[in-house]
Chains A and B, each alone.
Chain A
Amino acid sequence: AQSVAQPEDQVNVAEGNPLTVKCTYSVSGNPYLFWYVQYPNRGLQFLLKYITGDNLVKGSYGFEAEFNKSQTSFHLKKPSALVSDSALYFCAVRGGTDSWGKLQFGAGTQVVVTP
């Protein structure tokens, strides 16, 4: 069975400071990893994904994530946070043996960026 853990319910950061949102996973086979963002009263929006290749993945809005196979982690990062980055962030994983492409989501991490 696949699972995703986001250990922090909320991350607080000042505008201009680096932002990190943590994610660890457990899957069978090679993982497919995703980050989504949700703004209030909206659906989830795709940010970035790791399928294979370079461990550092770049995505939308200046976000990037680093895949670490030995630590089974896929942390989301942004070098300089903006107030507009305040939102709910979800990590998701699909196991390599899942032919249906079902994604398992973490519980989400609320990011609050203060001016």
Chain B
Amino acid sequence: DAGITQSPRYKITETGRQVTLMCHQTWSHSYMFWYRQDLGHGLRLIYYSAAADITDKGEVPDGYVVSRSKTENFPLTLESATRSQTSVYFCASSALPTGLSGYTFGSGTRLTVV
């Protein structure tokens, strides 16, 4: 997964705490996405972004906030973590708006909320 990195790889946090998951890509891809992966649900889109300062909600945005002040970074913040947000989070980027190139995924962040 060279070129798109997520940090941390693993995170344990307490209910009610704010936590930020980082995503950084080095290709200058315009389009970036955050998904969560849960057993039985596959990947569900949380937020996406078409460029710096352009973001929009996906399928499951409640409880999450994103920002994109620079093209290469797309952090995801859980404002007040809940146990239901325990999941594996994947960041992805795409060079083309049509998705013709598919996505390139990061290695994921495994978040546990206790």
A binding-site residues for B, Cβ under 8 Å: 6, 32, 34, 36, 41-46, 49, 51, 90, 94, 98-108
Contacts and interface: CB of A to CB of B under 8 A. Distances in A.
Contacts of B102: 34, 36, 46, 49
Interface of B: 1, 31, 33, 35, 40-45, 48, 50, 56, 58, 90, 92, 94, 96-100, 102-108
B45 to A, nearest CB: 6
Contact of A102 (B58, B96, B108): B58
6 contacts: A41-B107, A42-B107, A45-B105, A49-B102, A90-B42, A102-B33
B97 A101 contact: yes
A34 B48 CA distance: 19
Is chain A's interface secondary structure helix, strand, loop, or mixed overall? loop
B90 A108 contact: no
Given A46-B102, A99-B97, 12 more contacts: A32-B98, A36-B103, A42-B1, A42-B107, A46-B104, A94-B98, A100-B50, A101-B31, A101-B99, A102-B48, A104-B45, A105-B44
Most chain A beta-carbon neighbours within 10 Å: one of B35, B42, B106: B42
A44 B103 CA distance: 9
A6 B41 CA distance: 11
Nearest to B98: A101
A49 B90 CA distance: 20
A101 B96 contact: yes
Contact of B56 (A41, A43, A94, A100): A100
